[in-house]
Structure 1
Amino acid sequence: MSDSKLMKTLLALMLVLLVALAACSGDSDDDQSEGTDSGSDSEDSTETEDGGDNELYSVEDFSQIKSNEGEAIEGGTLTFGLVSDTAFEGTLNWNFYSGNPDSQILNWFDEALLTWDENYVYTNDGAATYEIDESGNVFTFTIGDNVNWHDGEPVTAEDWLFAHEVIGHPDYDGPRYGSDFTNIEGMAEYHSGEAETISGIQVIDEKTLEITYIQATPSLITGSIWTYPLAKHIFGDMEVAEMSASPEVRENPIGFGPFKVESIVPGESVTMVKNEDYWRGEPNLDGVTVKVINPNVIVQELESGGVDTVSEFPVDQFPDNADMSNVEYLGMIDRSYSYIGFKLGTWDKENGEVVTDPDAKMADVNLRKAMWHAVDNTTVGERFYNGLRWNATTLIPPSHPEFHDETNPGVPYDPEAAKQILDEAGYVDVDGDNFRETPDGEELVINFASMSGSEVAEPLAQYYIQAWEQVGLNVQLIDGRLQEFNSFYDRVGQNGDDDPAVDIYSAAWGVGIDVDPRGLYGRDAIFNFSRYSSDENDELLAAGVSEDAFDLENRQKVYNEWQQFMIDEVPVFPTLYRSELVPVNNRVHNYYIGDGTNMYRYDIAVTQEDTIVAE
């Protein structure tokens, strides 16, 4: 281990001890941060154990669009670092992928047919346009005449219909089928095998598709329409069950985006060349290479010019590298949050729904609420992330300001309240080992799954374990170690197979452009990894996409109620809201992050052939 890495590891461990001491003393400020106000001034600081200052930063101090220095050249290539401690899975088709690493690759060579603005509302500026009839239920989509697959074949209405047919097919093995699809007329009958076609989808002509939805909802214009076609001329003769593992997905993927795949080193890199026939116009760059880089070497890769930019930059590494001379940092409030989830049931593959177990180890809401009270996420955000992650209060993040309830404080850090809740619920130390037993007097060991990744992943997991130990709960890492990305999500159930060894888990959700939480917490959502369901949850989620929800104030009221309901029920609890920081090499022009910038990947250019190296 290098001296630099050793020092960072020791510092991270010191932070664990410091935060644990704060948990023991109860000295932490109980006021909850709201939105981007946590560490809202880059001149703020907190005192560290050695008496020095821990400088706090604010995401508001960063731009989403890179400033351009110098003159762009014609052509050139860009290297994009996919930050991951494991190989990417390589399911390179929007209709089948499930993990963020694959989506980072997909974004370069394929795209949605519809685009959206800064308010996440679909526009008519994309590869397709749309019209809505007076009822609000019937959408007519028109694909541009110049929108073609990378092999030159036109993207057609049949391709768009075909994507719906595949996802709705009983043999489909991906994660997409859910409430967005069952809202289409005839989809349920098609999915069950009662009908051979989807009655609510009609191909009008080669480029025009009509979809009739059962219920007109505000979500239909903010993200619940499936906008990714599937090339029927390639996949049409395949069995649906074989598509996701086929060479056409894993080895020779196709799209209609600004770049097209030239070669793949499985799990390691993807080399692309520009799509000269791209519908927006010929890209400025000659090509893009996406390569996996470990979080531990991200700084070296950036400083040496090994990559021009990265999928994400660990914000815990920002303070030590804020002055990196060859990059400019872009930043925004991320559409995501970290959370702790409690396993409360299993996934019923046959019926495609959550089955909540009233006898699950974590079924007692008092136990779950106490575990939230026990952790000090304000201090975690300041001391592990220098304010670039901050205490999360509800399950709708501030990236959606219209619906994030900034007045809701969530559950405050209060270890004494945690102890009292556990005492009153019957979780007491029967045998004198300083760990609480169950109300039935049986040993309680809570098995915790947490992911590897950044330098603070291990210390952060250990902090949570120690914080729960301080209130008398025996929490142990599964297998005594962190889990790598793919293994972690397999164990928590991304394929519908829930590992019974997992009691609680620490993860993060990227939230879609539509605020509708059904895709993460609905009864029919495979991504509902806690496997929580209830009638009241169903009712609130349905109300959020009802006809009444077209009234903004009504929808806000419903989602405020849902945010409080999930605080009361605690199937999961949010830990940290997140900044997205992206360093970009100074030679790069027209780079951007986020939505509503009116910039696209074909705009990206460079000022010289070689990357600029740090001084």
Structure 2
Amino acid sequence: MKKVVRTLATTLSLAMVLTACGGGSGSNKKDSGAAAEDSKKEFGIVFNAPSLVVKNEGEAIEGGTVNYGLINESPVEGIFEENLSQSQYDSYIQQLYQGGNLYNLDESFRIVSSDKVDINYDFENNQITWKLNKDLKWNDGTPVTSKDLAYSYEVVGHPDYTGVRYDPSEDERIIGMKEYHAGQADSISGLEMPDDQTLVVKYTKLTPATQWGAGMKPSLMPYHYLKDVAIKDLESCDQIRLKPLSWGPFYISSMVQGEKFELSANPNWYKGKPGLDKINVEVLSSSNVVAAMKAHKYDILSEVPSKAVNELKEVPGYQMVGKGQFYYSYLGFALGHYDKENENIIPNPDAKMANVNLRKAMGYAIDQMSIAEKFYKGNNTLAKSVILPVFTDFYNHDIEGYTYDVEKAKSLLDEAGYKDVDGDGFREDPKGQPLVIKLAMMSGGDTAEPLSQYYLQCWEQIGLKVELSTGRLIEMKNFYEMVQNEDPEIDVFAAAWGVGTNPSPKESYGNHAAFNLSRYTSETLQEPIDRITSDKASDPEFLAKAYKDFQKAVFDEVPVIPMQWRNEWTIVNKRLLNVDAGYGNGAEVTSTGDWKVTSDKPIEK
């Protein structure tokens, strides 16, 4: 789910980094009318790839093993259950062995039927009927049943649930969920299982947002395998961490915990024998990617670091395809508190970063286009919004983003009363008191350190004294623990979201959302979020306007500052067939079960 902002080429010196603060702003703007001409393209990044099959050639051999490099700067956490995990790296592995999701996505990324499950939305009767394919089995040979689907709802809604997927405003539309979550009922009365393949989920009101996943838990949890584990212990149990079951083409047959994973063909896969015998997954640092690929160690990578794109394009034996990634990096601000007991966001009007002009000034002080060009070799660009252009109907082209403008930044601070009172070159707060802002930023790769120094220099240029929280960069896991726990050492944090196919901002910016890491809400921000999830959202124009109003509210009130969008490149060895690098919402999308190879070893030329 979360991503580290990736790495800077080693040849880029700190001197080059610091000069970026002095770059001009003229090249950073793009005519909004031109942007509207191609609603899925921004600064050369194309957000239009429903299906993107890498077209390698050759005749497939029987079986074979593929080596998969998972890019991360530290071992993966290893919670292989999507209702419990908070890491996209765990999700990468789970998607590999499951071969994708239980459901399909249509062109607007709505959840629809697949060959694994038939989904019927009955808006008149406020219910969804799920009909599972009777041939689905877990890799231990046990048939998949409607109880496995129902168990996802029961786990997430349980009072002892340890994850963050429970959303009272959406999940409590399911009849009986509120009472179950409060411990007043032993079961969810709105879940009915007329037979082993059918689950009917009844709602007080079935809203259009449900089609994108709101109030829905569309994943399978093997009830027969997990039922004897207390729900409070699921996250740490061996059945989840070491020996998870799979209904997909592969399962985890062995592992070196957090570092290496052997995925073997599931003998009970509903489509028969997968095209491969095994997929070997290995975690590697972004700094080792180029050397590993030149040695043809991996057939495919989870992603290609921006710094390595141009070099890897020249490595023989591989093909590369690119598209806009479901991702944005952002600057977040510590603006309040999350009340876990009542599941509410409570803004703090006295927070150090509460002044909106202070936040805006920090955004305008950074030259995002120079970062994209010098740090990421032109594979990134200025992010204008927290809603991606891939959501064509919802993206607001009128939002220009925080284009580099030092004079505007200074003017905003002057207006807000942040002035240099004692002549030391740094501004005091409006009360004349010293102002020191603490920035939390993740370690990892060879970009983080010079990039952090770049930020500090840019803010110093407008008179703000900013220092690193704890005095140094922070390892990713500790970083997010500190942010989520509202560590007083953090005033500002540089983070990123790996965005899902549900564009709703409710989980990240809603007034009940644990993932609202800035801990900010307001009537102006929440009102369009409520419209997005309302009954009236069945009207496409109403829904589109709600999304656009939300983006304007984010730009005006600045709970976060979007910083970078980026291209996502997939590199595939020429022996590997049927790899689909698209968004997964095309008419025909392949999965890992369809992968095949044309030779025993990677092609080197």
TM-score, normalized by length of structure 2?
Answer: 0.93
- Deviation track 1:470-496 (CA, whole Å, cap 9, x = no partner) reads 111111122333222212211111xxx
- Which residue does the alignment assign to 2:447? 456
Contact 1:127–1:143 (Cα < 8 Å) also in 2: yes
| Residues 1:544 and 2:532 aligned together | yes
Deviations 1:232-270 (A, max 9, x none): 112112211111001111111112111011111111111
Match of 1:565 among 547, 553, 561: 553
Shift of 1:223: 2.9
After TM superposition, give the deviation of residue 37 of structure 1 in Å.
4.9
Indicate conservation of the 8 Å contact 1:215/1:546, yes or no.
no
| Mapping for residues 314-463 of structure 1, pairs under 5 Å | 314-463=305-454
Match of 2:95 among 107, 113, 117: 107
Between the two proteins, what is the percent identity of the paired residues?
38
| Cα distance between partner residues in 2 of 1:62 and 1:189 | 40
Q: Tell me the residue number matched to 1:528.
A: 516
Q: How does 1:160-239 map to 2 (within 5 A)?
A: 160-178=149-167, 179-224=169-214, 225-239=216-230
CA distance in 2, matches of 1:331, 1:373: 29
Partners in 2 of 1:120 and 1:28 — Cα distance?
34
For structure 1, which runs of at least 5 residues remain unmatched after alignment?
1-5, 41-56
* 8 Å Cα contact 1:428/1:436 also seen in 2: yes
Query: Could you list the per-position Cα deviations for residues 155-202 of structure 1 after superposition, in whole angstroms to 9, with x for gaps in the alignment?
Result: 111121111111111111111111442332221221112222212111
Secondary structure, counterpart of 1:145 in structure 2? coil
Judge conservation of contact 2:40–2:392 (CA < 8 Å) in 1. no
Distance 1:62 1:297, change over 3 A: farther
Letter paired with 1:188: K
Structure 1 window deviating more from structure 2 (581-590 vs 224-233): it is: 224-233
Distance apart, 1:271 and its partner CA: 0.7
1:465–1:476 contact (8 Å) kept in structure 2: yes
Distance 1:498 1:279 in 2: 46
**Superimposed CA distance per residue, residues 485-520 of structure 1 (whole angstroms, 9 cap, x where no aligned partner):** 212211111xxx222211111111122212111011
1:157 partner letter: S
Match of 2:249 among 254, 258, 264: 258
SS in 1 for 2:58: coil
> 1:482 maps to what in 2?
473
Map 1:264-275; keep pairs closer than 5 Å. 264-275=255-266
Give the conservation status (yes or no) of the 8 Å contact 2:47–2:390.
no
Over residues 268-295 of structure 1, what are the superposed CA-to-partner deviations in whole Å (9 max), with x where a residue is unaligned?
A: 1111100122123321000111110010
CA distance in 2, matches of 1:284, 1:64: 19
Measured at CA, do residues 175 and 32 of structure 1 come closer, stay the same or move farther in structure 2, by a change above 3 Å? Answer: farther
The residue number in structure 2 matching 1:16 is 17
- Structure 2 letter corresponding to 1:271: E
Work out which of the residue numbers 539, 546, 569 in structure 2 matches 1:581.
569
Change beyond 3 A, Cα 1:392–1:572: same
Equivalent position to 1:154, from 133, 140, 143:
143
| Counterpart position of 1:125 | 114
**Aligned mates of 1:8, 1:314 — CA distance in 2:** 10
CA distance in 2, matches of 1:354, 1:577: 27
2:360 aligned partner, one-letter code: K
How far apart, in 2, do the equivalents of 1:463 and 1:131 lie?
52
Q: Using the TM superposition, give the Cα deviation of residue 63 of structure 1 relative to its aligned residue in structure 2, in angstroms.
A: 8.5
CA contact (8 A) 2:209 2:534 kept: no
The alignment covers a number of residue pairs equal to 588
Residues 32/304 of structure 1: CA separation in 2 closer, same or farther (3 Å cut): farther
| Cα deviation digits, residues 117-147 of structure 1 (max 9, x gap) | 3431223224111112251621111011011
Q: Structure 1 residue 38: deviation in Å?
A: 4.8
- Structure 2 CA distance, aligned partners of 1:535 and 1:187? 27
Unaligned runs of 5+ in 2: 1-6
Deviation at 1:319, TM superposition (A): 2.1
Query: Residue 82 of structure 2 corresponds to which residue in structure 1?
Result: 94
